[in-house]
Amino acid sequence: MSSLALRGGAGVAFRPVYFEALLANPGRVDFIEVHAENYFGEGGLLHAQLAELRMHLPLSVHGVGLSLGGVDPLDALHLQRLRRLCERYEPQLVSEHLAWSGNAGQYLGDLLPLAYNAPTLQRLSSRIQQVQEALGRTILIENPAVYLRLDESDMSEVEFLRQLCRDTDCGLLLDLNNLLVSCHNCGGSPDSYLKALPAERVAELHLAGSTRMPIGDGTLLIDDHASAVADDTWALYVQWLLQAGPRPSLIEWDRELPVWGILAAEVDCARTLQQSPYMPPCASREKHA
Amino acid sequence: MTPIALEEFSLAVHNSDAVPLHLGECGEGAFAQRFAIYRNNVRASRTEALRQGFPVLERLLGADYFTALAAVFIQQHPPRSAALHEYGAELAGFIARFQPLSGLSYLADIARLEWARLCAFHAPDTPVLSIAEMDSATLTDRLGQPLRWHPSVTLLRSDHPLYRLWASQQGGTPAPTAQNWSEENVLIWRHGLLLRTEPLDAVSCELLQIATQPNHLPAALAEHPEWLNRLIQLLYWQVFLAE
């Protein structure tokens, strides 16, 4: 199993359709990431492929369904399966979301927004600690893409994340696309958000595309993981690199999957920018500025 | 976020009528539009999970009908696990009881077949009984003991031409008609890493069943030596456990 530590580089969200290309040339990427829940089955092709790739590449396990922000007790079976997955593949990184996704025993299948306040912080801290104890490691928490702000919130998202890191010793997975989406939809400056983040806690970055949806007099940005990384996101990536330096950076493309060559070209962009963080002015940024 | 607020939000994304306007920070119209994104995401992710698990059912029903049927099913049987590939266990039973489809009872069997394929795809990698590694004395001895099915194995006995219905949607073979409509058995399992779905004749079904009883196989083969070929095929297909 590849035990290389991840300090930078670029990776892809692994899908079975990319297996042959990755196996033929694992060095084309620096790591792969999988959704934990897709590997909660016990055997078969998915595990055979992952075990094979894991021989050659570092791995990030990304959970989407633990419902850290929920009020139901943490699902013991879910946690047990996550632990077994980590024991089986020894991932370099394990992450989950600042969100909730289930209630009253029902899985809702989406990352739902939280009120950023002291009671939520207390609940989330205790649940993150429970997960970290169960896994015997720290986990990374990802900032969500949000479409509304709840009335009960009385602190900013970045302040909430800062306190969460302090209380639980967790790390952060900074999704730059989500950051732009949330700032666009709910107000706030991406620039201030980046500056307020505890950069030393950020152990992974996510990069993705988004779409625009008309709403009332304006537009909402929708995080759909169905297109190439947006220019605005690349520009913010450059800003991050200049400010904090490289981190393992994932091209997150989960729907309407491109052919391997296109995804690999996105990896090249991230790698190139890590070497030389320069982003030329681009039309889309000027248009939406 | 209080548990009550979370409960209200949760009920409102699952049902389609109410919007918990008082939870929002912005104006009512804007909140409703924004809230609708979450509601659509919740509905879409659950429907998509069913669509991926039951592609033949979707083709037979048509995409619009499948989406509408899924909406009713999701209300009655919401997913309990975040592993969405495990969602849909109740779909066959739901379809069997769904009055508007009562004249098309083969659809419930199609759902059973596709559910069995999902289960087989994710089943554990358990060592199988392999005839390639055995001499005939060892094999004879082993066949005298009860055999167990590999955890990926499902045997479906249908009143309909289930295999031909399913296969006709994979392309290349004609769908059965009223003139050649007959009952069929289907075996679903994982042969190594390969997901397989095959029609099974009555003798092979009988062999699969009696193989799990001590000493039944040798007696059956002594009485019907012509069954040996069928047994060899089942062994070649690796449907039995090594231990």
Per-residue pLDDT at A289 exceeds 50: no
Mean local confidence (pLDDT), A52-62? 98
pLDDT at A215: 87
* A190 assigned to some structural domain: yes
Pairwise CB contact (< 8 Å): B10 & A120: no
Give every strand in the sheet of B184-191, ordered side by side: B154-158, B184-191, B194-200
Q: Which residues of B touch A81 (CB under 8 A)?
A: 83
Mean local confidence (pLDDT), B75-97? 97
* A59 assigned to some structural domain: yes
pLDDT at B103: 93
Which residue in chain A has the smallest CA separation from B25? Answer: A151
What band does A172 get if pLDDT is binned at 50, 70 and 90?
very high
Under 8 Å between Cβ of A219 and A213: yes
Q: Does domain B124-243 have CATH number 3.90.930?
A: yes
What band does B27 get if pLDDT is binned at 50, 70 and 90?
low
pLDDT at A86: 98
Per-residue pLDDT at A157 exceeds 70: yes
Under 8 Å between Cβ of A205 and A166: no
Q: Residue B148: how many CB atoms within 10 A of its CB?
A: 16
**Nearby residues of A19 by Cβ (< 8 Å), 6 or more positions away:** A49, A52, A53
Q: Which residues of B touch A75 (CB under 8 A)?
A: 81-82
pLDDT at B18: 76
Q: Which of A207-216, A217-226, A237-246 holds the top average pLDDT? A: A237-246
pLDDT-above-90 percentage for chain B: 78
* A5 assigned to some structural domain: no
Per-residue pLDDT at A200 exceeds 80: yes
How many domains in chain A? Answer: 1
pLDDT at B156: 98
Distance of CA B184 to the CA centre of its chain: 17
Residue B148 tokens read as: 């167990």
Per-residue pLDDT at A6 exceeds 80: yes
DSSP track, chain A: ------SS-EEEE--GGGHHHHHH-GGGSSEEEEEGGGG-S-SSHHHHHHHHHHTTS-EEEE-S-S-TT-SSPP-HHHHHHHHHHHHHH--SEEEEESSEEEETTEEEEEEE----SHHHHHHHHHHHHHHHHHHTS--EEEPPP-S--BTT--S-HHHHHHHHHHHH--EEEEEHHHHHHHHHHH---HHHHHHHS-GGGEEEEEE---EEEEETTEEEEE--S-SSPPHHHHHHHHHHHHHH----EEE---SSPPPHHHHHHHHHHHHHHHHS------HHHHHH-
* CATH (domain of A265): 3.20.20.150
The string of pLDDT tens digits covering residues B108-128 is 999 999 999 999 999 999 999
* A78 assigned to some structural domain: yes
* A258 assigned to some structural domain: yes
pLDDT at A282: 66
**Mean pLDDT lowest for which of A23-27, A61-65, A72-76, B1-5?**
B1-5
What band does A244 get if pLDDT is binned at 50, 70 and 90?
very high
Pairwise CB contact (< 8 Å): B34 & A220: yes
Pairwise CB contact (< 8 Å): A106 & B78: yes
Annotated domain spans of chain B = 124-243
As beta bridge partners, residue A10 has: A249
pLDDT-above-90 percentage for chain A: 90
Under 8 Å between Cβ of A153 and A142: no
pLDDT at A71: 95
What band does B232 get if pLDDT is binned at 50, 70 and 90?
very high
Domain that holds residue A110: 10-288
Under 8 Å between Cβ of A40 and A67: no
What band does A280 get if pLDDT is binned at 50, 70 and 90?
confident
Per-residue pLDDT at B155 exceeds 70: yes
Please state the three-class secondary structure of A184-201 as a single string. Answer: HHHCCCHHHHHHHCCHHH
pLDDT at B73: 98
Q: Which of A117, A122, A236, A227 minimizes the C-alpha distance to A168?
A: A122
* A133 assigned to some structural domain: yes
Q: How close A216 comes to chain B (CA, Å)? A: 7
